[in-house]
Structure 1
Amino acid sequence: MSSSKRDIEQKKKQVIEKLKNGEFIAKVEPPSSSHGSFWEHLLRIKCSNNEYQPFVQCTLCHEILSYSISHGTSTISYHVKNCLDKSNKLKNNKTISSYLSKSTDVKVTVDDKRSITIACAKLCSFDMRPFSIVKGRGFTFFCQSLINLGYQYGTTKLGPPSASSLLPDPTNISRTVSQIAEEERERLKNILKVDLQHVKMVGVSTDYWKNSGTSESYLTINIHYSKNEQNVTYMLRTSLFAQSKTGDNTRQRIFSVLLSYEIDPNQHHVVYITDNGSNLVCGLQGEVHLRCICHCLNLSLHNGVSLCPNLELLIKSCQELCVHFKRCEMNQLLSTTLKINVDTRWNSIHDMMQSISLNFHKCEDLLLDRNEIYYLDDINRKLLSDLTLSRSFRNEIYADTRKIIKTIGIQQQQSSSTTATTNSNKPPKKKKTDLVMESDVMQEFAGHVDSDCDDNSDEIDRYINSKLSFSNDDTLLGWWSKHSLIFPQLTLLARSLFGIPASSATSERVFSSTGRILEKRRQLLNPDIVDDILMIRNFRDA
């Protein structure tokens, strides 16, 4: 090969490299002095300052050709003609092999291979697939199809690399999963460090799970809180529990995991949510511990089956009584109206029973006068009162609410912020005026509050006596956020409480995922890898 040809070939390689790096671009821009139809299949190459290079690229075979205006266009037009002739011959003879790359000259950079490895690691974690999926023939064919498609529509056509040259080894994916999980743990630690500064109360749900394949036990620990009117949940750790599942060992493991995320249980208001397992109950003695509502309901229904016929008859009789009073217009003779049960209204059965319990004596007198006492034959007043909240019990709830507000520091925070704003520049006593103040507008927007309420009265009493509306478009946290100007302490309390789940369903969902990861063919998977995969899944929607 002559030196001039070697120079041209060397320059072609440089052009290819600069096209890959983006320093050069290929565009359909035929020279104004040439009008041949072959230019439809050629791309002229330009540098970043729009200066044309002495090369063109064929869109049919993607080859880089030397070209300059002074040398004419006979060579490149002949090249296009040959390419068109070849493509016409092969147009109707395509086989499966024609879609597969035959070029093995394309080199894949280390960074590109690393990005593919990370993508495969996330695929295995998000979709809970085995690492060996990358060696499957179907997966390889799928990747090759994507590569060919990208090659077909790509702008820089240098020949597609084969899928086997891109896909990593399963062991490499396993290591990458561990690396990504460690990065996500640090990310989660930083998220919690920031979020928990503004959270009054957090929930921690935990539970045990046994791997049916190996009979090994796993313990999962999850954290819950509310942020920006949304409930937030993260899986902190799901690890093999090789020790005896005693209460003390369980407590030590839970506290150890919390401390690894710089969450000191003695410095935060933590509410633990578990099922009724004796080891969990024993291990969390002395802590604020909620029993999973799902387990409690299951136990209640299991033990209360014998009461079901009586309850069904009681509900039916109460409904008939309320309908009768409404039809006969006797509600106006009662101190409070009897409320009819509506299937689509939340808690309406309880409201119906309570309305009858409060007016029972008056209903009895009215029915006696009308000789209709038979409406009360199947209404057991003792059972009715047991199923409704008494006034004393309601007062206990109000008192407990005040204690919680004081315990978690909401009252102190509100009083300090209020004092800071009022004492700095105490305004004179307001006179009655017809002007509309900003606070009035915000209260009107949030909902109607009785005008007789004293601003300095107890906030819980004001909430009980207020007439507030709740639209179907409101979420619970959204509703409280809208009313935060009226009920600042209760809003903070609601945000704290609603962030804590009433059940340990999160643990069950984690174990459902764990069961899919540790399927029968993956029983030798390292428990640390299981925890790594679940950690990465924390951020699958991010």
Structure 2
Amino acid sequence: MSTHLRRHHSDIDIGGSKVPSSIQGTQSRVVDFTKPLPGSQPNLHDVIKSKLPAASSRAGAITNSIGVFIALDMRPYSVVENVGFRRLVNTLEPRYQIPSRTHFTNTVMPKLYENTKREVLKRIESASSVAITTDGWTSRATESYVTITAHFVSEEWQMENPVLQTRPLHESHTGTNLANVLTSALTEWKIDRFGNIAISTDNASNIVSAVKQSPSLNPHIRCFAHTINLASQRAMQVSQMARILGRVRRVVSFFHRSSHAASVLRTKQLLLELPCHTLIQDVSTRWNSSYDMLERYLEQQAAIFATLTVKDVRKNVDSLVTLSDEDVGCVEDATRVLKPLKTITTIMCSEKTPTVSLILPLKELILKAMAVVESDSVLIKSVKAAITKDLKDRYTDPDVNQFLQEATALDPRFRSLPYHDETGRLQVFTGLTVKAVACASKLKTEVRVKVEPDEPLHAEPESPPLPALPSVSDTDREGKSESGPESHAPDEPYKKKIKTAMEEIFGEVFITHVQAARPLSACVENEIQRYKTEDCIPLTANPLEWWKGNECRFPNLALLVRHYLGVPATSVPSERVFSTAGDIVSGQRASLSPDNVDVLVFLKKTSS
């Protein structure tokens, strides 16, 4: 390069080289080769070293992804200031500058919330019917919140369960204040346009009062899981059962308090080849935790007894009383009776398949299982009687019962209504017919059905009849007459009708008749009669999948299905938010503002 410059560009001083004497009097240019020439492209080093503009698409995408990371992984806003996180981002993209924590709090997360809310509103708008659930909880900061979730069947026949809001309630939790919260939420999320909106809640008196003060919330479905919990709690309060539970609780509490006893228990489990499970401490307000405690005690009773016989363990627990053989037998019988209730509670907590249609069949199943037999012990008879007494009067309100009966009939797993006689089935399907006609009338005033007539239909008198399709023999005779003398009478002028190619080929073979408009009620009744003759699908099948494949066969009933089967049987979806919110409003984030709690819970549950 230097040789080329000396030979052809002698006026350039390349530094350290001698300028020829022939041009010493002229002006020379000094070039610094460490800097780019004017108008030239930047080198690779400068491109890598430069920072991404904050308004660039790549910087915006990274910032948005960090916001999604904060929401989905329930990270605090301060994570963007952590040294380890900043180093990770710098390694992945050295040119990116992480915005401040305040920027994420005031700009990024609210924008994510608004975009996601817009999508949820669009999905709700496309739904034909929406139901809601609600429940309340208190955070670590003793802040009271009310969560509302929506439920509907999408156009693709999928269950949708978006969390709408988790808002603070600073006033007293009276029925009136809760009613105001529900009414405001229905308006904000544009759900009030659906008219009657089904709601599922627990049996608390304040929420029951709130629903009664909201005319648009109907029907009111009491949480079936909570109902089972109340009935089972009655069973746990039977005197003999309460005494046994008290003894088991004291044993379990001892092992939870004593690290030495817990260590010996693990050793005994290994020696006896038992599962290395810890003992379960129950929560008095949740019957299934009491069931789990008893079941675990039965599983580990050999290891528990062996541990309590160790001198070092036993010396400080002389007052601890274990279960006798008779008590163990009673616990085994009680867990056997209560096991179906535990299984039913698990089934009813599903959010992917319809559950409201299961309430009445499962209620009948429980009542049948709680029937007393001669071989039952005194304890089991008392347990069964307590459950039956609490459960038999549930869901007997006429409007709620009718809604549940019709929901069960629209579930292809239970369309035969096996717990009904023929008169009861007729009443249920008659009610469905009336509702299907009313629902379809909003969309269309009449249904015109194109059918093949059973008998040839005659045309109107003023219209000439269509010619019959000639048979093979007629065609042969026609061919013979064409070659013979004139076959027409002299006084009948022969007029040959000119046919198109399609008419010549098909004739009347594909002629159909459009009957006069059939009454909508007749169409619905026909659908219901055909639906009743269908075979029930397996209990493990998803009824929404069946309706997705048969919507075209039962279009009027399909309109009702989205209204009925989209209603949840429990308020579990709202209660599940409490666990998520508890992780968000942790001890380190107890000062999180209610608005940020609402944003983070909404993004976490909706974007998951």
TM-score (norm 1): 0.56
**1:412 counterpart (430, 441, 446):** 441
* Matching of residue 421 in structure 1 with residue 489 in structure 2: no
Who is 1:183 aligned against?
Answer: 115
CA–CA distance in 2 between the matches of 1:501 and 1:352?
Answer: 20
How far apart, in 1, do the equivalents of 2:206 and 2:363 lie?
37
In 1, Cα distance between equivalents of 2:580 and 2:564? 27
- Tell me which residue corresponds to 2:144: 217
Q: 1:457 to 1:121 in 2, by over 3 A?
A: closer
Paired residue type of 1:270: I
Instruction: Name the residue aligned to 1:128.
Output: 74
**Structure 2 equivalent of residue 497 of structure 1:** 564
Question: How far off its partner does 1:12 sit?
Answer: 8.1
C-alpha separation in 1, matches of 2:574 and 2:363: 32
Corresponding residue for residue 547 of structure 2 = 480
Find the aligned partners of 1:395 and 1:280 in 2 and give their Cα distance.
35
Q: Does 1:463 align with 2:531?
A: yes
Task: Give the match for residue 500 of structure 2.
Answer: none
CA spacing shift, 1:310–1:216, aligned 2, 3 Å: closer
Partner amino acid for 1:264? Answer: D
CA distance in 1, matches of 2:335, 2:601: 44
Distance 1:508 1:177, change over 3 A: same
* Distance (Å, rounded) in 1 between the aligned partners of 2:567 and 2:153: 8
Describe the shift of the 1:252–1:457 C-alpha distance in structure 2 as closer, same or farther (beyond 3 A): closer
1:5 maps to 31
Amino acid aligned to 1:429: D
Distance, in Å, in 2 between the alignment partners of 1:268 and 1:348 is 29
Instruction: Give yes or no for the alignment of 1:111 onto 2:60.
Output: no
Aligned length: 358
Paired AA for residue 405 in structure 1? A
Alpha-carbon shift at residue 465 of structure 1 (Å)? 3.5
Provide the C-alpha distance between the structure 2 equivalents of 1:377 and 1:538, rounded to a whole number of angstroms. 50
Superposed, 1:118-197 pairs within 5 Å as 118-147=64-93, 160-161=94-95, 166-175=97-106, 176-193=108-125, 195-196=126-127
8 Å CA contact 1:410, 1:493 repeated in 2: yes
How many Å separate the matches in 2 of 1:216 and 1:471? 43
- What are the Cα deviations for residues 319-351 of structure 1, in whole angstroms up to 9, with x where unaligned? xxxxxxxxxxxxxxxxxxxxxxxxxxxx89979
Tell me by how many angstroms 1:461 deviates.
Answer: 4.2
Task: Give the Cα–Cα distance (whole angstroms) in 1 for the partners of residues 161 and 539 of structure 2.
Answer: 27
CA distance in 2 between counterparts of 1:251 and 1:348 reads 31
Q: Distance in 2 between matches of 1:351 and 1:249?
A: 38
Q: CA deviation at 1:511?
A: 1.9
Q: Does the 8 Å CA contact 1:226/1:499 hold for their aligned counterparts?
A: yes
CA shift in 2, pair 1:262/1:411, >3 Å: closer
Say whether the 8 Å CA contact 1:208–1:218 is kept in structure 2. Answer: yes
DSSP-derived class of the 1:166 partner: coil
Would you say the 8 A contact 1:126–1:536 is kept in 2? yes
Q: Per-residue displacement from partner, 1:495-541 (whole Å, max 9, x unpaired)?
A: 33222211111112222211111101111111111111223335525
Q: With a CA cutoff of 8 Å and minimum separation of 6, indicate the structure with the bigger relative contact order.
A: 2
2: CA distance between counterparts of 1:219 and 1:177?
21
Change (3 A) 1:399 1:310: farther
Aligned equivalent of 1:15: 41
Matched position secondary structure for 1:110: coil
Does residue 1:298 correspond to 2:366, yes or no?
Answer: no
Deviation, 1:10, is: 3.3
Change (3 A) 1:512 1:430: farther
Which aligned pairs between 1:218-297 and structure 2 lie closer than 5 A?
218-227=145-154, 228-264=156-192, 267-285=194-212, 286=215, 287-288=217-218, 289-297=220-228
Distance 1:516 1:310, change over 3 A: closer
String of CA shifts for 1:206-231, please: whole Å, max 9, x gaps: 111111x2221101111110011101
Correspondence for 1:33: none
- Offset from partner CA, 1:186-240 (integer Å, 9 cap, x none): 33333322x13xx1x31111111111x2221101111110011101121211111
Q: 1:137 Cα deviation (Å)?
A: 1.9
Deviation of 1:476 (Å)? 1.3
Deviations 1:422-469 (A, max 9, x none): 3xx7764358xxxxx9xxxxxxxxxxxxxxxx9885544443343355
Contact 1:116–1:166, Cα closer than 8 Å, also in 2: no
Q: Matched residues in 2 for 1:499 and 1:462: separation?
A: 23
Q: Distance in 2 between matches of 1:495 and 1:216?
A: 36
Q: Which residue does 1:37 correspond to in 2?
A: none
* Matches of 1:214 and 1:224, distance apart in 2: 30
Normalising by the residue count of structure 2, what TM-score does the alignment of the two structures yield? 0.51
How far apart are residue 276 of structure 1 and its match?
1.0
Asked if 2 retains the 8 angstrom alpha-carbon contact of 1:470 and 1:479, the reply is no
* Residue number in structure 2 paired with 1:517: 584
- CA gap of 1:497–1:5, structure 2 versus 1, over 3 A, is farther
- Structure 2 equivalent of residue 321 of structure 1: none
Q: The residue matched to 1:276 in structure 2 has which SS?
A: coil
Computed over aligned residues only, the root mean square deviation of the Cα atoms, in angstroms, reads: 4.3
SS of residue in 2 equivalent to 1:9: coil
CA 516–403 in structure 1, closer or farther in 2 if over 3 Å, else same: farther
Work out whether residues 238 and 531 of structure 1, in 8 Å CA contact, stay in contact via their aligned partners in 2. yes
Q: Mark the structure with the bigger radius of gyration.
A: 2
| CA separation of 1:257 and 1:13: change in aligned 2, threshold 3 A | farther
Say if 1:467 and 1:245 are closer, same or farther in 2 by CA, change over 3 A: same
Name the CA distance, whole Å, in 2 between partners of 1:117 and 1:144.
13
What is the DSSP-based 3-state SS (H/G/I as helix, E as strand, rest coil) of the residue aligned with 1:15?
coil
What is the distance in 1 between the residues matched to 2:33 and 2:209?
82
* 8 A Cα contact 1:117 1:172, kept in partner: no
Partner of 2:495: none
Hey, what's the Cα distance between the residues in 1 that align with 2:367 and 2:585?
A: 50
Secondary structure at the counterpart of residue 225 of structure 1? strand
Distance, in Å, in 2 between the alignment partners of 1:238 and 1:209 is 10
Distance 1:183 1:252 in 2: 26
How far, CA to CA, are the matches of 2:433 and 2:86 in structure 1?
63
Give distance in 1, aligned partners of 2:524 and 2:455: 15
**Could you tell me how far apart the structure 1 residues matched to 2:366 and 2:207 are?**
38
Task: For 1:265-414, list aligned pairs within 5 A.
Answer: 267-285=194-212, 286=215, 287-288=217-218, 289-304=220-235, 389-391=419-421, 393-406=424-437, 409-412=438-441
How many Å separate the matches in 2 of 1:292 and 1:208?
Answer: 14
CA 1:209–1:460: 2 relative to 1, 3 Å: same
Q: CA 1:377–1:131 in structure 2 vs 1: closer, same or farther (change >3 Å)?
A: closer
Partner AA of 1:508 in structure 2 = E
Query: Could you tell me which of 501, 508, 527 is aligned with 2:594?
Result: 527
In structure 2, relative to structure 1, the CA distance for the partners of 1:351 and 1:271 (3 Å cut) is closer
What do the CA deviations read for 1:40-64 (whole angstroms, capped 9, x no partner)?
xxxxxxxxxxxxxxxxx7xxxx559
Identity between Structure 1 and Structure 2 (%): 24
- CA distance in structure 1 between the aligned counterparts of 2:453 and 2:554, rounded to whole angstroms: 24
**C-alpha distance in 2 between matches for 1:216 and 1:348:** 37
Structure 1 unaligned blocks of 5 or more: 17-56, 65-102, 148-159, 316-346, 358-375, 432-436, 438-453
> How far apart are the structure 2 equivalents of 1:224 and 1:348?
22
